[in-house]
Amino acid sequence: MEVSRAFLLLALASCTAGKPNQEHDVTNTASPNDPTLARLKQQLATARTQTDAHYSGDALPVAGDVAAIVDREPRPWWQQLTPDETFLLFEISPRTAARAPADVAANAYCAGVAGVSAEWWGSPGAPRTEPSDRLVALGKPVAACLTKLFDDPRKLHYIDGEARSEAHDNGWTVGDLAAGLVARILGQSYDATQPVPERAKQRAALRTKL
């Protein structure tokens, strides 16, 4: 009996030793047959690190490398990217953005508002930058997504001295920025200088218009 048990244990050990670690495999072979996608993701990760110093897609130093990948092969890249990655891709490659469904673009730009420096969008009371213009052009689909950010309490930070002071003095948040963008889409105004409770009322009123 002991001999049989020894043989059984030895056989089990041999099977286990020959079996690959499943978690390790998944981690290291995420895109085994798509090196182009892997390269794109790597370049978009680099782009993300550049967003604190450059405030539009075409201004990112890595933009040319990203565009060279996706413009050469026009496929639905967004299907294999996160919304954050898709936002950066669309900012860098308008050609790719133009091919995407409206809901994909809306979710991507909504992720961008939550994910990149507030410098990309402008102040909550006057969000007028090139990325803001592109977001506003998406209309109500992106506005509906942005309302989900109305309660986001993360503070806004600006490099510009005046905007930095205003953000600090008024306690501007991601929720304020989202509201300012929604107001612009709806042809409304958002007074970001009002006290916090009044701004909350403004956001509530904007929600009812969607």
Q: Across the strands, what pairs with 126?
A: 123
Residue whose tokens read 């405030």: 55
Q: How many CB atoms sit inside 10 A of residue 94's CB? A: 12
Using alpha carbons only, give the angle 61, 111, 135 rounded to the nearest 5 degrees: 80
What DSSP designation does 156 have?
P
| Angle of helix 174-185 versus helix 102-115 axis, rounded to 10 | 140
User: What was the pLDDT predicted at 27?
Assistant: 33
User: What was the pLDDT predicted at 31?
Assistant: 57
User: What was the pLDDT predicted at 6?
Assistant: 40
3-state helix, strand, coil split of the chain in percent (to 5) is: 70, 0, 30
Residue 173: strand, helix, or coil? strand
User: What was the pLDDT predicted at 180?
Assistant: 98
Q: Are 136 and 188 in contact (CB under 8 A)?
A: no
Q: Are 108 and 44 in contact (CB under 8 A)?
A: no
Residue whose tokens read 């370049």: 43
User: How does pLDDT run across 105-135, given as a tens digit for each residue?
Assistant: 999 999 999 999 999 999 999 999 999 999 9
Intervals of the chain under pLDDT 50? 1-30
How many Å apart are CA 5 and CA 197, to the nearest integer?
Answer: 73
Please give the distance of CA 197 from its chain centroid, rounded to a whole number.
Answer: 28
User: What was the pLDDT predicted at 33?
Assistant: 85
Of 127, 161, 166, the residue nearest 146 (C-alpha): 127
User: What was the pLDDT predicted at 162?
Assistant: 87
Residue whose tokens read 């030895």: 10
